[in-house]
Amino acid sequence: MAENKTVTMEKLVSLCKSRGIIFPGSEIYGGMGNTWDYGPVGVEMKNNIKRAWWKRFVQESENSFGVDAAILMNSRVWDASGHTTSFTDPKMDCKECKSRHRADTLIEAHSKGKVNPDAMTNEEMEAYIQEHHVCCPVCGKFNWTGIRTFNLMFETSRGVTDENQNKIYLRPETAQGEFVNFLNVQRTTRAKVPFGIAQIGKAFRNEITPGNFIFRTIEFEQMEHQWFCKQGTDSEYYALFKKKAWDFLIDLGFSPEHLRYKDHDKLAHYAKEACDIQYLFPMGWSELNGIHNRTDYDLSRHQEYSGKSMTYIDPVDNSRYIPYVVEYSIGADRLMLAVLSEAYEEQTLEGGDVRTVLHLHPAVAAYKAAVLPLQKNLAPQAKEWHAKLSKLFMTAYDEAGSIGKRYRRQDEIGTPYCLTVDFQTLEDGTVTVRDRDSMEQTRLTLEEAIRFLTEKVAFN
Ligand code: ATP
């Protein structure tokens, strides 16, 4: 993939908007802060990312099963998980310009990443901000409120009359849907521990400082895999999932130089081991995904709060225990941003022309091929090719403008192959197949092209 790191967030946002990848949410009403809509190209890419993940972590994973749990859950779930009391961020308001900030983010930015606020208490963070005279990044003044904790869960209410409303929450993570279904999945699949439950779905967080395009939004999708195992084997599986998470990224086309592990300095009270994989985003190294050894905390808490036993009975030795959980969690949108930024290149060609190209893994690209008639009078033959290929692959069709311009348009959305129908097609039934990355061309018949594309677009 591209070594060239000419990519900036501005360039990505602009390409995404102009090429139908991602649009600002509710744009015609002036937008709605930090919401984004995926366009015709973006929805295909994101679906392909989710498919690749599901293939790797469910389809090809022995003893892993999928669920699709409800977004709205009984609010006791969030009491049990600890979210109602402790899913908070340390917020500070600037008394001058009224902007709101996270104390930890202020410290990280001020120290240029040298101080890690994760290991600090609220009092220590306040002291640091005072001592180092950390000013408001919006107005430059130094006039802060103290730190107050702010719960990130979105509340809503459920009830058919105004008087009779129950407070419920939009889920802030998908993981609880896997935990509450642990016994349902185990019973119906007859799975034996160790086994996994995976889910892809929306999560919502009232983030204090969202931003950086789709890196941190208030509504996003998570891809989570929980591995239920016996205490004593947990660390071994933790190491395994660290590697699986890394390998998945490498297989998607990431360069290892743009990825690194980062152990958590301050472990959550229930966690035994935890780390992130960070990616070198355009704004710097930031979390892409997390891997956590969550011990038996989640299932024990659900047992306590629901009154239902979460005990697993081992059919071989009849031992009874609450399994440990190793969690792997990655945001689909955050991964999409990483994929886009890794793939982006402004390439100077011989002769000095510059082309923008997305070197996407073909499995991720929205269109696997584009069919282009060399001239408009070849459109009937080209449309036939398009119709046949569309039964098997997402295939684009474009007859507008010079062939060079059409190649560039496909390069910009990462279409790996352009199939040009020309006059030779009428004679021998072959088309020119142009490779996005090398720009080399070969000729293939329809059957050959189908075989070729099938092989190239697979995610293995
Ligand atoms: P961060 O420290 O960036 O807030 P986190 O540690 O709270 O993230 P987790 O709760 O572990 O994140 O969530 C798992 C994954 O979900 C993250 O690694 C990230 O990929 C994604 N994610 C979390 N919050 C957001 C968000 N607000 N917008 C987009 N993706 C997110």
For residue 134, give the CATH number of its domain: 3.30.40.230
Domain end residue (candidates: 123, 151, 179): 151
User: pTM of the predicted model, to two decimals?
Assistant: 0.93
- Cα dihedral sign for 212, 213, 216, 218? positive
331 - beta bridge partners? 222
Structural domain contains residue 32? yes
**Contact indicator for 405, 391 with CB cutoff of 8 Å:** no
State the Rg of the chain over Cα.
Answer: 25
Query: Is residue 336 domain-shared with residue 387, that is, in the same domain?
Result: no
Whether ligand 1 lies within 6 angstroms of the CB of 219 is answered as no
pLDDT tens digits along 120-177: 889 999 999 999 999 999 999 999 999 988 899 999 998 877 777 789 999 999 999 9
What is the C-alpha separation between 460 and 458, in angstroms, rounded?
6
Q: Among 126, 151, 176, which residue terminates a domain? A: 151
Same domain, 305 and 232: yes
Sign of the alpha-carbon dihedral angle for 404, 405, 406, 408:
positive
Pairing label, strands 369-373, 395-397: parallel
Output the domain CATH number for residue 15. 3.30.930.10
Clarify whether residues 268 and 320 are in a common domain.
yes
Cα 329 to ligand 1 centre (Å): 8
Same structural domain, 231 and 273: yes
Domain count, the chain: 3
Of the residues 307, 341, 375, the one at which a domain ends:
341
Asked if the structure places residue 353 within a domain, the reply is no
Q: Give the HSE-up count for residue 85: Cα atoms under 13 Å, Cβ half-sphere.
A: 6
Report whether residue 373 contacts ligand 1, using a CB cutoff of 6 Å.
Answer: no
Do residue 178 and residue 137 come from a single domain?
no
Residue with CA closest to ligand 1 atom 20 = 331
The model's pLDDT over 201-239, given as tens digits with 9 standing for 90+, comes to: 999 999 988 889 999 999 999 999 999 999 999 999 999
Range of 328's domain? 9-71+167-341
Pocket lining: 217 vs ligand 1, CB cutoff 6 Å? yes
**Same domain for 296 and 197:** yes
Between CA 101 and CA 14 the distance in angstroms is 27
Cα 402 to middle of ligand 1, angstroms: 44
Ligand 1 binding pocket includes 34 (Cβ within 6 Å): no
Angle between helices 40-54 and 332-343 (to 10 degrees): 110
Q: Which regions of the chain are under pLDDT 70? A: 1-5
437 Cβ inside 6 Å of ligand 1: no
For a mutational test of ligand 1's pocket, the pick from 154, 174, 222, i.e. the residue with the most ligand atoms closer than 8 A to its C-beta, is 222
The answer to whether residue 324 is domain-embedded is yes
Whether 408 and 312 share a structural domain: no
| Whether the CB of 294 sits within 6 Å of ligand 1 | no
Which of 329, 333, 336, 337, when mutated, tests ligand 1's pocket best, judged by the most ligand atoms within 8 Å of its CB?
329
For residue 22, tell me if it sits in a domain: yes
303 and 373 in one domain?
Answer: no
Same-domain check for residues 178 and 254: yes
Tell me if 159 is assigned to some domain. no
Residue having the nearest C-alpha atom to atom 18 of ligand 1: 289
- Residues 220, 295: one domain? yes
298's tokens: 């989640």
Ligand 1 site, residue 212, Cβ cutoff 6 A: no
> Are residues 314 and 443 part of one domain?
no
Segments in 190-259 forming alpha helices (H): 234-251
For 5, list phi and psi in degrees, rounded to 5.
-105, 45
Report the distance separating Cα 328 and Cα 298, nearest Å.
Answer: 14
357 part of a folded domain: no
User: What local confidence, expressed as pLDDT, does residue 4 receive?
Assistant: 43
Report residue 81: phi and psi, to 5°: -75, -15
Q: How far apart are CA 414 and CA 343, in angstroms?
A: 8
Residue 287 Cβ contacting ligand 1 at under 6 Å:
yes
Task: Give CA–CA dist 279/287, Å, rounded.
Answer: 6
**Are the beta carbons of 203 and 153 closer than 8 angstroms?**
no
Asked if residue 3 is part of any domain, the answer here is no
**CB distance 290 to ligand 1 below 6 Å:** yes
- Alpha carbon of 265 to those of 14, 268, 274, 283: distances in Å? 36, 10, 9, 22
Ligand 1 binding pocket includes 177 (Cβ within 6 Å): no
Same domain flag for 273 and 408 = no
Secondary structure in 3-state letters for 284-344: EEEEEEEEEECCCHHHHHHHHHHCCCCCEECCCCCCEECCEEEEEEEEHHHHHHHHHHHHE
Whether residue 358 is contained in a domain is answered as no
